[in-house]
Structure 1
């Protein structure tokens, strides 16, 4: 199974330009044939003109962690560390004031400044401790 797709080998109905780089986004077809697929990134980037810039990890932007132990947490970037020969680390602070760090590859920018451009998940991306979750569950059971 190949993980890359050359731009010239991409289906013509995607309407990609030849000089846009060497590779095209490879679709994950699921139950459909690969020639009938259309990658979501083509719709978002080429048709709707969203996500045109690739690096928006500026200090003060809202981000969501999409991988690692902090998956699902939302916060504001406080610091960005670059280490030679290693991963870039981003330090994030959530709305509850807790600070945590994650790799650059595990972080997804939600918007510029402190206002997110997308709707946040239930709980606004704040990770509760086990004790806080138990207290919250107990209070909802007693209220019902």
Structure 2
């Protein structure tokens, strides 16, 4: 596998210019796949404008000035993806990574108190025995719980950073508020109308109501609250 990536071939989810440079940074293996995560150094340089060169971006990260989900970032190629929290120590600025209506990853500035937690979607569950169940989240983290019956695949957890303590639970159910993170309705926020369970190997479908009802597959749905979103949306304030 190549260690290099031409900038023109960068994933479409990266909100970076395509023809200003020949090469760009290829993300290292991590919590997010390449198409869903942008290297931290590109976020520092191209999204937030904290520096002008890649060398400067590496120096900022190497100096321990950047926190990702409450922990010091060390790898400038670390992939940053959906719902990740970035903290700039020197300026005390905080950002949450979201997706906009064009499918681009965006850094949305948030208050300090909102940087103490993040939303994580349950991708699947692993039974470990002795009453313990491991919840595997969309960002690669694993959370151990005892009463796993309350948590289902597709639900969202509000998780304290960096302790991973569960603060709240938002189920994928009728009436919940969701952000669409894939497909033709990317970036839209709508309320779940119903969930259609498929008997085949095809993914389940989620129906949304409103003035313009639509349907999308379950992997494209990220619950962000019950009656209203608990996060600041990219349409309100976009950085990058």
* TM-score, with length taken from structure 2: 0.32
CA gap of 1:51–1:71, structure 2 versus 1, over 3 A, is farther
Identify, as 1 or 2, the structure richer in helix: 1
The answer for unaligned runs of 5 or more in structure 1 is 2-24, 124-144
Matches within 5 A, 1:28-39: 30=39, 36-37=74-75
Q: 1:83 aligns with which of 158, 173, 198?
A: 198
Q: 1:59 aligns with which of 153, 174, 196?
A: 174
In the alignment, does 2:126 pair up with 1:122? no
Cα distance per residue 1:90-143 (max 9 Å; x no partner)? 00124xx2110111101111102x2110123338xxxxxxxxxxxxxxxxxxxx
The answer for unaligned runs of 5 or more in structure 2 is 2-28, 33-37, 42-57, 63-72, 85-138, 142-158
Identify, as 1 or 2, the structure richer in strand: 2
- Counting matched residue pairs gives 95
- The runs of 4+ residues in structure 1 deviating greater than 4 Å are 37-46, 50-53
Q: Displacement of 1:51 after TM fit?
A: 7.6
Structure exhibiting the larger radius of gyration computed from Cα positions: 1
CA RMSD of aligned residues (A): 3.6
Q: Give the whole-Å Cα distance in 2 for the aligned partners of 1:45 and 1:93.
A: 34
CA gap of 1:27–1:122, structure 2 versus 1, over 3 A, is closer
